[in-house]
């Protein structure tokens, strides 16, 4: 019997609206047909997720983010060249041109509020691409600081190297570890630097006790919420298509881990998000 890859039902609405601070809802995502931008925003609002940050991390999705997504008043944008995309572009001699286009879009669109996702991924890119990834990460850090934008970090199986580059370059004032994947010790280190940690639906997975421990050691004012749609769908719908409205499920567990009343935790996460990205 084929797996159910459809969108799950709408969850109960949250008592206070929150923000999905990292999602991918550009055209072409699964399931097909995927919800339109307006449908995504409407479903999210019905679940108490009234604002989102769309992340475009190749040139096509970055352009869509800057030119179309942010025209919706509920949507802000983040754009970058993904760490797995950087070596592919470099091999074709196109990385510098791509970065120039990212810079131009980020500098001229006031509703682009973050550079991201950028960072290092040693899971999908082998040793031959690591130097390119590291240099692209450095370039994105410099761009975020130059433009005064937040930065969203992608860190997969590269914790020590990501921290080393941040130490060498100096992190932007508002730095977010998107889909935080470290342990409690790393979360404590991030908190000491004033960096934000953003949590997705995988904190609901049985195997994710390390992530739940990380939430418990963080100051509430440094915690953010995300879907990372269309993947990382929270339980009990793991394996089905993810969307911003399902962050309502993740938020309920996040509040328990924060040891806060749900409404208070929602308010805190919403305030944190505005502190990073500004007003919508």
User: Is 125 a residue whose pLDDT tops 90?
Assistant: no
**Residue 271: strand, helix, or coil:** helix
The radius of gyration of the chain from alpha carbons, rounded to an integer in Å, stands at: 17
Nearest to 157 by CA among 128, 132, 127, 184: 127
Confidence of residue 77 (pLDDT cuts 50, 70, 90): very high
* Residues 8-52 pLDDT 10s: 999 999 999 999 999 999 998 888 889 999 999 999 999 999 999
Residue 3 has a pLDDT of: 83
- When the pLDDT of each residue in the chain is averaged and rounded to a whole number, the result is 96
8 Å CB contact between 8 and 240? yes
Question: Any long-range contacts for 230-234 (C-beta under 8 Å, 24+ apart)?
Answer: 230/24, 230/25, 230/29, 230/30, 230/31, 230/34, 232/179, 232/200, 232/201, 232/202, 233/8, 233/201, 234/200, 234/201, 234/202, 234/203, 234/204
Residue 128 has a pLDDT of: 84
CATH class as words, domain 18-277? alpha beta
Residue 1 has a pLDDT of: 56
Q: What is the mean pLDDT of residues 154-166?
A: 96
**126 vs 23: CA distance, rounded Å:** 26
Q: What is the mean pLDDT of residues 238-255?
A: 97
Interacting residues of 159 by C-beta distance below 8 A, sequence separation 6+: 181, 182, 186
Which residue is it, tokens 């934000």? Answer: 196
User: Is 2 a residue whose pLDDT tops 80?
Assistant: no
User: Is 169 a residue whose pLDDT tops 70?
Assistant: yes
Q: List the domain boundaries for the chain.
A: 18-277
Q: What is the mean pLDDT of residues 90-112?
A: 97
N-to-C CA span, the chain? 44
- Report which DSSP code applies to 23: E
**Residue 89: strand, helix, or coil:** helix
């Amino acid at each position: 019997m084929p797996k159910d890859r459809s969108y799950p039902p709408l969850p109960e609405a949250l008592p206070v609206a929150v923000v999905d601070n990292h999602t991918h809802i550009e055209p072409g995502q699964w399931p097909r047909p995927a919800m339109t931008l307006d449908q995504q925003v409407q479903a999210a609002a019905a679940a108490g997720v009234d604002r989102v940050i769309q992340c475009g991390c190749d040139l096509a999705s970055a352009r869509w983010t800057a030119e179309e997504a942010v025209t919706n008043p509920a949507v802000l944008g983040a754009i970058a060249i993904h760490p797995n995309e950087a070596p592919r572009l470099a091999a074709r001699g196109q990385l510098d041109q791509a970065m120039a286009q990212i810079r131009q879009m980020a500098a001229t669109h006031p509703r682009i509020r973050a550079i991201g996702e950028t960072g290092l991924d040693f899971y999908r890119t082998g040793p031959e691409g690591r130097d390119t990834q590291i240099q692209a990460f450095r370039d994105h850090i410099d761009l975020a600081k130059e433009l005064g934008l937040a930065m969203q970090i992608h860190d997969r199986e590269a914790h020590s190297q990501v921290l080393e580059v941040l130490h060498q370059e100096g992190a932007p004032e508002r730095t977010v570890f998107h889909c935080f994947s470290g342990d409690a010790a790393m979360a404590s280190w991030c908190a000491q630097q004033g960096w934000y940690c953003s949590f997705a639906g995988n904190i609901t997975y049985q195997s994710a006790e390390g992530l739940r421990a990380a939430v418990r050691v963080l100051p509430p004012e440094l915690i953010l919420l995300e879907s990372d749609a269309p993947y990382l769908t929270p339980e009990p719908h793991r394996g089905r298509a993810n969307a911003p409205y399902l962050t309502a499920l993740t938020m309920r567990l996040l509040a328990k881990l924060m040891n806060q009343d749900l409404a208070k935790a929602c308010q805190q996460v919403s305030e944190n998000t505005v502190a990073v990205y500004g007003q919508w």
